[in-house]
């Protein structure tokens, strides 16, 4: 809702339309001017009080923790990393002498990495063993940011949530967030925090105000200046000033950026924060539309005509769930198991889950096996799918009457709120499933035939598109020379099978008890 006339509804409307034209799914937009929220809107079923996965926006929260740690003397920016982790084997190299806290805060460790490596184990141990790259300098990775988090935990004897709660979250009135951890209890430094847009806008504005909030010094003032100042050049990146301490810089603007279009930017020219949650694989257009279009809303007043146009657009942009005209025929009270062939194909790279694989690939903890033991229930207005992802029972209640239902589940210790509905199309039962705090959507098709069930999952964000983009950044592909086109073409072929239909069969006739109905 627009709350001040000094913000142009015309340019906000045009910004939304351009997002739509470029296939960018918006979940939320919040604008602050002069420290006050002047616009805040969410696309149903997303809402302002629902924490949202941040991906690499997490890195800037880690940077904030580092500022406190340096200010408190836990370590300095010039402290060398190697002496802090003597318990781990490390690769032999003279380059350890140059690997400092400053190096990892500017993502210049020069260490080899993969965005797709398994974070469930001891990430710090993997980092210490990893060889140094031949191509030196800035190369964006999760590894360096995680080492900042691991270092803070080691020196403070607290994980990042506990460390930041009295220093940052409580002073800003932020509920301590869910934050993914690895098997040894470290908060993942490169990704993994879940927060709201208003939480992030507060933090951004606090940086802009020299670390002060409601007249109280929260973040050390010197750190707010250093973290958002150019610390490293980014050669080949058009119109970008550089990179600070886990903050992106461009034309005087500092930003916290995360995969799939999460961006919180402060514009000093307007004393304005623009915070946005989107869903798009290639998020370069996201940044351009904010910097070239949305900022024009700060320069002009609103009008009644554009206010109405924007209001009408926002009211009508939400997904309209379909309703079943007649109840489908569903095999209830039976257990179905994935066939061996489907099981092998479905878990290529990452196992099939209710959470799309483009999302679970960045999780610190994720199931190692495909969803299994599927069963169904049907009431007058609810289609229920029940399965197990390893030891976690996942029950999804899909509204059949045009009214989505909410379900709650926990997978590997992470809690999710699932919004879902189902409808018939071309003789098949279709379900739209949104794990709301992950930004993702699973579109599922069920075909029932005697003792066999076929389930097809198509996800947003696109898994093949995501994997291909990350593969291009991996050291294996980067260093493959003339073989790179062949590798990428082979990857295209392999990924063409990654969202194939999974087949389940009923192996026993025993009846089971299933749960149904909305929470």
Phi and psi angles of residue 481, each rounded to the nearest 5 degrees, phi first: 60, -125
Distances from the Cα of 313 to the Cα of 12, 43, 46, 302, 317, angstroms: 11, 11, 16, 16, 6
Torsion of CA 349, 351, 357, 362, to 10 degrees: -70
Asked whether residue 420 carries a pLDDT value surpassing 50, the answer given is yes
Q: Which helix (H) or strand (E) holds 407?
A: strand 405-411
pLDDT band per the 50, 70, 90 thresholds, residue 492: low
**Which region holds residue 211: left if phi is over 0, alpha if psi is between -120 and 50, else beta?**
left
Distances from the Cα of 88 to the Cα of 103, 109, 183, 419, angstroms: 19, 17, 16, 43
Distances from the Cα of 429 to the Cα of 321, 374, 444, 454, 468, angstroms: 14, 15, 8, 11, 31
pLDDT band per the 50, 70, 90 thresholds, residue 333: confident
- Rounded to whole angstroms, the Cα distance separating 358 from 196 reads 21
The Cβ of residue 449 has, within 10 Å, a number of other Cβ atoms equal to 8
- Rounded to whole angstroms, the Cα distance separating 241 from 235 reads 10
Over residues 362-381, the mean pLDDT reads: 87
Residue in the structure block whose two tokens are 């940077």: 63
Asked whether residue 516 carries a pLDDT value surpassing 50, the answer given is no
Distances from the Cα of 320 to the Cα of 211, 402, 432, 463, angstroms: 43, 8, 11, 25
- Rounded to whole angstroms, the Cα distance separating 397 from 102 reads 49
Asked whether residue 237 carries a pLDDT value surpassing 70, the answer given is no
Q: How much is the pLDDT for 517?
A: 38
Question: How do residues 285-331 score in pLDDT, each as one tens digit?
Answer: 888 999 899 999 999 988 999 999 999 999 999 888 988 888 888 99
Look at residue 355 and give its three-state secondary structure: coil
Angle between helices 9-21 and 304-316 in degrees, nearest 10: 30
pLDDT band per the 50, 70, 90 thresholds, residue 518: very low
Examine residue 45 and say whether the peptide bond preceding it is cis (omega within 30 degrees of 0).
yes
Over residues 477-481, the mean pLDDT reads: 62
Over residues 445-454, the mean pLDDT reads: 92
Q: How much is the pLDDT for 346?
A: 79
Q: How much is the pLDDT for 510?
A: 45
Over residues 66-79, the mean pLDDT reads: 98
Over residues 443-471, the mean pLDDT reads: 84
Q: How much is the pLDDT for 481?
A: 65
Question: How do residues 390-414 score in pLDDT, each as one tens digit?
Answer: 999 999 999 999 999 999 999 988 8
Q: Which segments within 235-371 are labelled E, that is strand? A: 242-243, 248-250, 253-258, 262-267, 272-279, 337-338
Domains, in order of start, for the chain: 50-270 (3.40.710.10), 337-505 (2.40.128)
Over residues 470-474, the mean pLDDT reads: 60
Q: How much is the pLDDT for 430?
A: 96
Q: How much is the pLDDT for 501?
A: 80
Over residues 69-84, the mean pLDDT reads: 98
Q: How much is the pLDDT for 367?
A: 84
Q: How much is the pLDDT for 260?
A: 94
- Rounded to whole angstroms, the Cα distance separating 477 from 463 reads 18
pLDDT band per the 50, 70, 90 thresholds, residue 468: low
Specify the higher pLDDT residue, 15 or 282: 15
- Percentage, residues of the chain above pLDDT 70: 88
Kindly give, in sequence order, each residue whose CB lies less than 8 Å from that of residue 512, ignoring residues fewer than 6 positions away.
Answer: 333, 334, 335, 375
Q: How much is the pLDDT for 494?
A: 56
What predicted TM-score, i.e. pTM, was given to this entire model?
0.91
Question: What's the whole-number average pLDDT of the chain?
Answer: 89
């Amino acid at each position: 809702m627009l709350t001040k006339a000094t913000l142009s509804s015309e340019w906000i409307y045009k910004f939304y339309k351009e997002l739509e034209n470029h296939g960018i799914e918006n979940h939320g937009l919040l604008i602050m001017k002069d420290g006050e929220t002047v616009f805040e809107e969410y696309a149903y079923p997303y809402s302002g009080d629902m924490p949202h996965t941040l991906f690499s926006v997490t890195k800037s929260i880690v940077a904030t923790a580092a500022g406190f740690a340096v200010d408190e003397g836990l370590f300095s920016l010039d402290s060398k990393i190697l002496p802090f982790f003597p318990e781990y084997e490390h690769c032999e190299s003279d380059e350890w002498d140059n690997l400092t806290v400053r190096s990892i805060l500017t993502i210049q460790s020069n260490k080899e990495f993969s965005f797709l490596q398994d974070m469930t184990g001891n990430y710090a141990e993997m980092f210490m063993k990893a060889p140094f790259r031949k191509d030196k300098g800035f190369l964006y990775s999760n590894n360096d940011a995680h080492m900042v988090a691991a270092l803070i935990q080691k020196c403070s004897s607290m994980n990042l949530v506990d460390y930041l709660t009295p220093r940052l979250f409580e002073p800003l009135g932020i509920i301590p967030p869910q934050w993914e951890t690895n098997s040894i209890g470290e908060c993942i430094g490169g990704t993994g925090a879940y927060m709201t847009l208003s939480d992030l806008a507060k933090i951004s504005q606090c940086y802009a105000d020299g670390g002060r909030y409601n007249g109280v010094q929260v973040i050390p003032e010197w750190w707010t200046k250093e973290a958002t100042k150019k610390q490293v050049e980014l050669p080949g990146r058009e119109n970008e000033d550089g990179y600070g301490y886990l903050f992106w810089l461009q034309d005087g603007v500092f930003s916290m950026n995360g995969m799939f279009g999460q961006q919180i930017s402060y514009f000093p020219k307007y004393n304005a924060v623009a915070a946005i949650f989107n869903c798009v694989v290639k998020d370069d257009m996201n940044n351009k539309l904010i910097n070239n279009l949305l900022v024009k809303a700060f320069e002009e007043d609103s009008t009644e005509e554009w206010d109405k146009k924007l209001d009408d657009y926002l009211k009508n942009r939400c997904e309209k769930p379909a309703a079943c005209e007649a109840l489908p025929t569903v095999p209830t009270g039976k257990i179905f198991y994935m066939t061996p062939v489907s099981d092998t194909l479905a878990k290529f790279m990452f196992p099939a889950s209710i959470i799309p694989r483009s999302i679970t690939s960045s999780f610190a903890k994720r199931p190692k096996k495909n969803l299994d033991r599927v069963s169904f229930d049907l009431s007058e207005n609810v289609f229920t799918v029940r399965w197990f992802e390893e030891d976690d029972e996942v029950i999804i209640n899909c509204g059949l009457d045009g009214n989505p239902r909410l379900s709650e589940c926990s997978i590997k210790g992470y809690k999710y709120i699932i919004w879902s509905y189902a409808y018939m199309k071309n003789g098949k039962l279709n379900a739209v499933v949104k794990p709301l705090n992950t930004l993702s959507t699973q579109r599922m098709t069920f075909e029932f035939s005697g003792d066999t069930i076929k389930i097809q999952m198509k996800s947003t964000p696109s898994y093949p598109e995501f994997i291909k983009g990350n593969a291009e950044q991996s050291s294996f592909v980067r260093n493959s020379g003339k073989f790179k086109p062949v590798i990428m073409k082979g990857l295209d072929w392999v990924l063409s099978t990654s969202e194939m239909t999974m087949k389940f069969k009923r192996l026993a006739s025993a009846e089971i008890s299933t749960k149904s109905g909305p929470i």
